Amino acid sequence: MTDKQLRLTIIDELDFEPSVEAAHIGVAVENGVVTLSGHVRSYAEKIAAEKAVRRVKGVRAIAEEIEVRYPHDKKTSDTEIAQRALSIIAWDVTVPDAVKVKVEKGWVQLSGTVDWQYQRQAAENAIRKLSGVVGVSNLIELKPRASASDVKKAIEDALKRNAELEASTIRVTVGNDNRVTLDGKVHAWYERGVAERAAWSAPGVKAVEDHLMVA
């Protein structure tokens, strides 16, 4: 697929995504690397646009330059965002109370320690939807729960079970600090996300570095 064809396919996918106002997003493609520009009405819409592009076959990488612009009459103070963030975390049974929130100019920083990656991700997903948020830095750490060898085996087994992946083309390396590195090749960009989620599903994983190539 040529860059021109890939660009048109991405634009079609953005138009198809109901949560995205595609007319305000610019798309440029060079050697399979996609640059997104323009502006959106919320941080949640920005994430939705990026996810839509990741679904398109042929995308090798994404440079994300989309700006979040809220109408002036809907501007939310940092204090209001922080209070709403704490409330939504308190109500979410999947997010431990240990998660801490800091807000500066609409940018939310999450910190603290949790046991599982899904808890870490749930906290970020909840905050993304709040009005006034322009970005999220997820600095929540995971408590180590297993040895490196156990983590490696758990990830490799998860990859083999996944019907969307060719597990034999993916190499898994786990350091003594339970940081996982994925190397090798996948057939489409979205498969990188599938492999990452499989890696994060293993108990004890503290970080995942995705070096997978799309080929």
Structure tokens given for 189: 């960009």
Between residues 85 and 150, the one the model is more confident about: 85
Q: Is 14 exposed, middle or buried (0-12, 13-18, 19+ CB in 10 A)?
A: buried
In the beta sheet, which residues pair with residue 136?
A: 108
> Which of 8, 14, 1, 25 has its CA nearest to residue 52?
14
Between residues 90 and 147, the one the model is more confident about: 90
Q: For 96-126, how does the pLDDT look when each residue is reduced to its tens digit (9 = 90+)?
A: 888 999 998 888 999 998 888 888 889 998 8
pLDDT cut 90: percent of the chain above it = 28
Report the pLDDT value the prediction gives residue 150, as an integer from 0 to 100: 78
Report the pLDDT value the prediction gives residue 139, as an integer from 0 to 100: 92
Confidence of residue 64 (pLDDT cuts 50, 70, 90): confident
Question: 3-68 and 76-142 share one CATH topology?
Answer: yes
Mean pLDDT, range 56-78, rounded to an integer: 82
Chosen CATH of 76-142 out of 3.30.1340.30, 3.40.50.2000, 3.30.70.270, 3.40.50.720: 3.30.1340.30
> What's the rounded Cα separation, in Å, for the pair 115 and 197?
16
**Residue 73, pLDDT above cutoff 60:** no
* pTM for the predicted model, two decimal places: 0.60
Helical H runs in 39-116? Answer: 43-54, 78-91
**Residue 144, pLDDT above cutoff 90:** no
pLDDT cut 70: percent of the chain above it = 97
- Mean of all residue pLDDT scores within the chain: 87
Q: Give how far the C-alpha of residue 101 lies from the chain's centroid of Cα atoms, to the nearest Å.
A: 19
**Residue 10, pLDDT above cutoff 90:** yes
Mean pLDDT, range 158-176, rounded to an integer: 83
Report the pLDDT value the prediction gives residue 49, as an integer from 0 to 100: 93
- The domain limits of the chain are 3-68, 76-142, 148-214
CATH T-level fold of 3-68: Histidine-containing Protein; Chain: A; (3.30.1340)
Q: Give how far the C-alpha of residue 131 lies from the chain's centroid of Cα atoms, to the nearest Å.
A: 19
Confidence of residue 71 (pLDDT cuts 50, 70, 90): low
Report the pLDDT value the prediction gives residue 148, as an integer from 0 to 100: 74
Q: Does the 148-214 domain belong in CATH 2.60.120.260?
A: no
